A and B are shown apart, each in its own frame.
Chain A
């Protein structure tokens, strides 16, 4: 067997998805999405530094419906990754690792992320 074809952990295809594993993979997905989304931060900063015209064009681009959907998804990813990151930091201390608190904190994180996103965008839209 070629060493490149050995099944390596984490092999997601073998496990039945559970609430904890879904949230775990969502943490990674949101992290990667946010990393890509840093491009938006760079875009905004460069536009601001380049003068009123380019800033106006960028704001116009960001106000497009497709951009708005992207920005809302980015906000949701940000809140989820931020809150779930705090959950991970608590786990790093050894606290709340048992099944029940892990599930409960997962629900708190998921629901809070949605609510915070709704609060942030509720005023803007």
Chain B
């Protein structure tokens, strides 16, 4: 099928590098999602300042808060990964080092998100 697409159609949405538009949009979408989520985080932190264990536990145990926390964790680690990825691409010019760093960052972001999600669910479902 792709043979029948005209040259403009094949070039569209591909920058000089051949890809990147999806990354750009993913970074923006996660950024927009994070605006209300971060406002919620700051507000929550001021509510929870000085809170003891039982208060904090009850707070995160509320379904609405647990859902917001899960959404925040997902969007935050996704956005962080996308951002740090670009920083590494821009400043680390040694290919092997760059790839190693990208791998470490990707794993760290995934691990952070999974560990956080398990902790949230454990509190919410206990």
Contact A45 B83 (CB under 8 A): no
Residues of B within 8 A of A (CB): 28, 31-32, 34-35, 38, 42, 45-46, 49-50, 53-54, 56-57, 60, 69, 73, 76-77, 80, 83-84, 87, 90, 93-95, 112, 115-116, 118-120, 122-123
By a CB distance below 8 angstroms, the chain A residues around B73 are 41
Q: A4-B94, A48-B60, A82-B38 are in contact. Are A38 and B112 (CB under 8 A)?
A: yes
7 A-B contacts (beta carbon < 8 Å): A32-B84, A42-B116, A45-B119, A49-B122, A49-B123, A85-B31, A92-B28
Tell me whether chain B's interface is mostly helix, strand or loop, or mixed.
Answer: helix
Contact A28 B115 (CB under 8 A): no
Tell me whether chain A's interface is mostly helix, strand or loop, or mixed.
Answer: helix
Contact A86 B35 (CB under 8 A): yes
Q: Number of A residues contacting the other chain (C-beta, 8 Å)?
A: 34
The 3 closest A-B pairs by CB, nearest first: A49-B119, A45-B119, A35-B80
B72 CB to nearest A CB, Å:
9
